[in-house]
Amino acid sequence: MLPKIQEAHGDAKFIFAGNERIVKIRHADITPLPYQNASSTIDVIVGYDKAGKAIIKSRTIIEEVHRFAHQASIIAMEEEFDVIHAHDWTSYLAGVAAKIASGKPLILHVHATSFDQAAGNNVDPAIYKIEKECFALADKVVAVSQFTKNIVVQKHFVPETKVEVVHNGCNIEEPKRLEPTLSELKRQGKKIVLYHGRITIQKGVDYFIRAAKRVVDVDPNVIFVVSGSGDMITQIIEMVGSMGLSKNVLFAGALWYEERDRMYQSVDLVVMPSVSEPFGLVPLEALQHGTPSIITKQSGVAEVLTHVLKVDFWDVDEMANQILSSLRYPVVRQQMVNEGKQQMQGMSWRQAATKMLAVYRNLVQYVTQ
Amino acid sequence: MLTVCPYFHVHQPYRIKKYKVFDIGNDSEYFNDDSETDLNNRRIVEKVANKSYRPTNKILKELLDNHPDFRFNLSFSGTVLDQFEAYTPDVLESFQELVATGRVEILADTYHHSLAFFYSLPEFKRQVQKHERRIKQLFEVKPRVFRNTELSYRNDLAKWCEDNGYVGIMAEGWEKYLGWRSPNYLYRPAGCKKIKVLLKNYKLSDDIAFRFGNKEWNDWPLNAETYADWIHSHHGDGETVNLFMDYESFGEHQWEDTGIFDFLRAMPEMVLRHPETSFKTATETIESYEATGEYDVPDVLTWADTDRDLTAWTGNDIQRDAIGAIYQMETEVMKTKNKNLIETWRKLQTSDHFYYMCTKWSNDGDVHSYFSPYQSPYDAYIAFMNALSDLQLRVSKEGTERDKKDAQKRVAKAVSKEKEPKKHSATVVLPESLGAISPIQPVKKKRWWQKVVDKIRSLEVPLIGK
């Protein structure tokens, strides 16, 4: 998952293979989001007319990706550096272009694949083509989980030895406690279960709603909060209506920063029902705020986090059973938080960075000057 | 003289199926999983019978036939005996044959492989008695030496055993309590006068039970000759080498391809080769040697992992919650006097359920580092608690029904006394407070001849006078 805003301007110091370098960062006007179809369009300011009005041009994301690659090759020829590290499909071509221009080793970092986005085999062929061809040209492919490595090996035919797994890390500082939200519901003795994430087919929100139905049939005192937005939102709202769940499912919109943290802290349980989740930071964020999670086995984070409940995304009955059981027996939630927090201490970003550095070192030692 | 006292523990629990919240109140079968997973008890018993019980018993029988000096001890949980009876009766018979030789001693145990001693003494006693009856019934012997679940032990348990007529008890020979002393002698439990404690030589026991097939181990591959040498090296600094292990070490924990069966087949002969070495059962060992010192264990000692305590069963919050909940039900369950409910409650006391909830080793992400049929300790806890909730429901239902019946009986009695002169009257006036409860109507029993008369009358045919 990319941060919502990437801000890096001017010069920045980076250490490559032990040598400190100043790197000039050129600001890009637009960051294409990787979680879109190749043919979707974005509006880009290409210049300003005499009156100072922006000239806006609509380009497809794939055009934008090619333009980005062209820019990257120019930068690569001008700048001094040792490794190229490109993240997700929208920057893979740029990475390859930089490699061709400079001859420097290329690492492609896979945070998600077209298979995750499609939640199945019905992938966007343009994106798949870029992924597959770029992986073939890369010196190393880094996957955020074994789960993702398996996809890259099986679906993109990348040799297993070329793929390294570097699990994502998480923030391990104790966050500040915020004024709780949904206090009226809590006062009424309701139990609250949260979904937080984009509302897309990949995220399995529909399975979450079906599990909610099963739960509410047994215990109408459980409230489900859906926080996020995405192309599936209308479908989900209709689904909630037709299942007669309007009283039990609340839509909170997309929550960020403090609002999101407040929500994490206020609910009793978080569910990450993803159909295909390369890593999945949600259960770790929830844990940091003292809330336990149910996650699907189809996620990368399931490989590193043991103090959660795990379920197959399609097993709605078991998902509902886990929701009801963990609400019923508070001791299990308490223990998952206590022990999970301890486990999180070993999952810092620093550790992920250390592993990444080792991958850099390994590549740089073979570079002939 | 040096003797070897081998003891194999035979046990299978009744694993709880994936019992869901939705099943509470609807499904009173907790142990009848019929899937292809390791929650299917029949499947497990049949599997282990093939891998371990049948081949091992065959070898043990041969060894007893070929070596008149070969002896060993067995202990069974009641839950495994019940499952043998139901699923693999031939295995039970083969055990009976072994015991019939008179050279295989059976130890006392709790029926349900429970930790009851540490939670409820009355329940513990009942389980030990039930176990004794079952052993008597199947093997026609009375155990004289006690071993508790997971070899758990404490001074007060030894005292209890002494007070209840046992001559010996088994425990882990752990440095914390032994100090510089050797486990290869008998000791007197602290606070006891007669009973002796046999201590497990964990180094030699675990060489077979845990390390045998481990290719990383310095002494791999271990052959019977070397092993016998290790035993013989204790000549002069010990009297008895106590080898305690799970029976399932043979063929199940250590698979056949490790060579464990060949090892077992050869071991007694190698041990007996040394002229001054032999085998003894637990009782024979106790009768042959004197206690050389005191074994003082004020805190619970078990044979489990490096901690040798109960933390694998009661180390975390969910374990303590679950085990606390089960023993909290005791009074209510016993009150029902319902055999089925009591038996189900006891099956839920089996220590394995709590072991599956252990999170001691899960922090490194390797959940498969210990044996559990559940995917995670939390799944185990949820299945257990849901089943327990259902049992609680059944127990309280039984309770209300019993109260109802009692009330009915009382009413019926009161009514029949009050209305003595108007016997068998059809209408009974109830006290208002009991209005909701209808008493059982006393039905007048018809005599046989009256039935005949009625029958004739019902024909409505004027028989006479035609």
Residue-wise pLDDT for B153-198, tens only, equals: 999 999 999 999 999 999 999 999 999 999 999 999 999 999 999 9
Place of tokens 């009876």: B85
Q: Pick from B275, B309, B343: which residue ends a domain?
A: B309
Verify that B394 and B414 share a domain, yes or no: no
Tens digits of residue pLDDT in A284-331: 999 999 999 999 999 999 999 999 999 999 999 999 999 999 999 999
Q: Does A222 have pLDDT greater than 70? A: yes
Q: Does A158 have pLDDT greater than 60? A: yes
- What's the pLDDT band for A43 if we cut at 50, 70, 90? confident
pLDDT attached to residue A52: 83
CA-based diameter of chain B, in Å?
111
Contact B88, B52 (CB under 8 A): no
- What's the pLDDT band for A79 if we cut at 50, 70, 90? confident
- The answer to whether B378 contacts A324, with C-beta atoms less than 8 Å apart, is no
Verify that B292 and B366 share a domain, yes or no: no
Cα–Cα distance, A8 to A25 (Å, whole number): 7
Verify that B284 and B363 share a domain, yes or no: no
Q: Pick from B386, B403, B420: which residue ends a domain?
A: B403
Q: Does A9 have pLDDT greater than 70? A: no
Query: If residue B314 lies in a helix (H) or strand (E), which one and from where to where?
Result: helix B311-314
Of the candidates B265, B200, B138, B207, the one whose C-alpha atom is nearest the C-alpha of residue B9 is B200
Question: In A, which residues are within 8 Å of B376 by CB distance?
Answer: 306, 309-310
Verify that B283 and B395 share a domain, yes or no: no
pTM above 0.95, yes or no: no
Q: Quote the percentage of chain B above a pLDDT of 70.
A: 89
**Domain A183-344, what architecture?**
3-Layer(aba) Sandwich (3.40)
Q: Considering only A47-56, A87-96, B101-110, B243-252, which range has the smallest mean pLDDT?
A: A47-56
Q: Are strands B196-200 and B240-246 parallel, antiparallel or unpaired?
A: unpaired
Q: Does B343 have pLDDT greater than 50? A: yes
- The answer to whether B385 contacts A322, with C-beta atoms less than 8 Å apart, is no
Average pLDDT over residues A180-206: 92
Residues ≥6 apart with Cβ < 8 Å to B425? B419
Of the candidates A109, A105, A201, the one whose C-alpha atom is nearest the C-alpha of residue A149 is A109
CA-only gyration radius of chain A, Å: 22
Domain ranges, residue B372: 312-403
pLDDT attached to residue A18: 58
Q: Does B431 have pLDDT greater than 50? A: no
Mean pLDDT, chain B, integer: 90
Nearest-Cα residue of chain B relative to residue A330: B318
What are the domain boundaries of chain A? 10-169+349-364, 183-344
Tens digits of residue pLDDT in B261-300: 999 999 999 999 998 999 999 999 999 999 999 999 999 9
Count the alpha carbons within 13 Å of A257 in the hemisphere toward its beta carbon: 3
Contact A225, A263 (CB under 8 A): yes
Verify that B190 and B300 share a domain, yes or no: yes
Contact A212, A195 (CB under 8 A): no
Tens digits of residue pLDDT in B72-87: 999 999 999 999 999 9
Measured between CA atoms, how close is B352 to chain A, in angstroms? 18
Q: Is residue B459 part of a domain?
A: no
Residues of B serving a catalytic function are 150
Q: Does B330 have pLDDT greater than 80? A: yes
Candidate CATH numbers 2.60.40.1180, 3.40.50.720, 3.40.50.2000, 3.40.50.1010; the one for domain A10-169+349-364: 3.40.50.2000
Q: What DSSP state is assigned to residue A307?
A: S
Cα–Cα distance, B22 to A324 (Å, whole number): 9
Q: Does B438 have pLDDT greater than 60? A: no
Q: Does B445 have pLDDT greater than 80? A: no
Backbone phi, psi, residue A95, to 5°: -60, -45
- What's the pLDDT band for B462 if we cut at 50, 70, 90? low
pLDDT attached to residue A121: 81
Please give the structure tokens belonging to residue B296. 């003082």
Question: In A, which residues are within 8 Å of B321 by CB distance?
Answer: 329, 331
pLDDT attached to residue B460: 59
Find which of A335, A337, A338, A341 to mutate to test the B interface (most B CBs within 10 Å of its CB).
A335
Cα–Cα distance, B114 to B367 (Å, whole number): 24
Verify that B47 and B196 share a domain, yes or no: yes
pLDDT attached to residue A26: 55
Using the Cβ of B382 and the Cβ atoms of chain A, whether some distance falls under 8 Å is answered with yes
Cα–Cα distance, A26 to B85 (Å, whole number): 78
Q: Does A367 have pLDDT greater than 80? A: no
First to last CA, chain B: 105
- DSSP, residue by residue, A279-293: S--HHHHHHHTT--E
- The answer to whether A324 contacts B21, with C-beta atoms less than 8 Å apart, is yes
Verify that B104 and B220 share a domain, yes or no: yes
pLDDT attached to residue B393: 96
Using the Cβ of B20 and the Cβ atoms of chain A, whether some distance falls under 8 Å is answered with yes
Average pLDDT over residues A128-140: 96
pLDDT attached to residue A1: 28
pLDDT attached to residue A31: 58
Verify that B244 and B181 share a domain, yes or no: yes
Q: Which residue has the higher pLDDT, A59 or A331?
A: A331
pLDDT attached to residue A5: 38
- ipTM of the complex, rounded to two decimals: 0.84
Cα–Cα distance, A293 to A323 (Å, whole number): 9
pLDDT attached to residue A32: 61
**Positive or negative CA dihedral for A211, A213, A219, A223?**
positive
Q: Does B433 have pLDDT greater than 50? A: no
Verify that B239 and B155 share a domain, yes or no: yes
Cα–Cα distance, B199 to A164 (Å, whole number): 50
Using the Cβ of B233 and the Cβ atoms of chain A, whether some distance falls under 8 Å is answered with no
Q: Does B430 have pLDDT greater than 50? A: no
* Angstrom distances, CA of residue B154 to CA of B143, B151, B163, B206, B283: 20, 10, 15, 22, 20
Q: Which residue has the higher pLDDT, B36 or A1?
A: B36
- DSSP, residue by residue, B137-167: HHH-----EE--GGG-B-HHHHHHHHHTT-S
Tens digits of residue pLDDT in B391-423: 999 999 988 888 888 888 888 887 776 655 555
Q: Which residue has the higher pLDDT, A196 or B402?
A: A196
pLDDT attached to residue B372: 86
Average pLDDT over residues B120-134: 97
Backbone phi, psi, residue A127, to 5°: -70, -45
Of the candidates A14, A32, A171, A169, the one whose C-alpha atom is nearest the C-alpha of residue A89 is A32
The CA-CA-CA angle for residues B276, B278, B280, to 5°, reads 140
Verify that B336 and B449 share a domain, yes or no: no
- Inter-helix orientation angle A89-102/A61-78, to 10°: 30
> What's the structural domain count of chain B?
3
Of the candidates A68, A72, A79, A70, the one whose C-alpha atom is nearest the C-alpha of residue A23 is A79
pLDDT attached to residue B285: 97
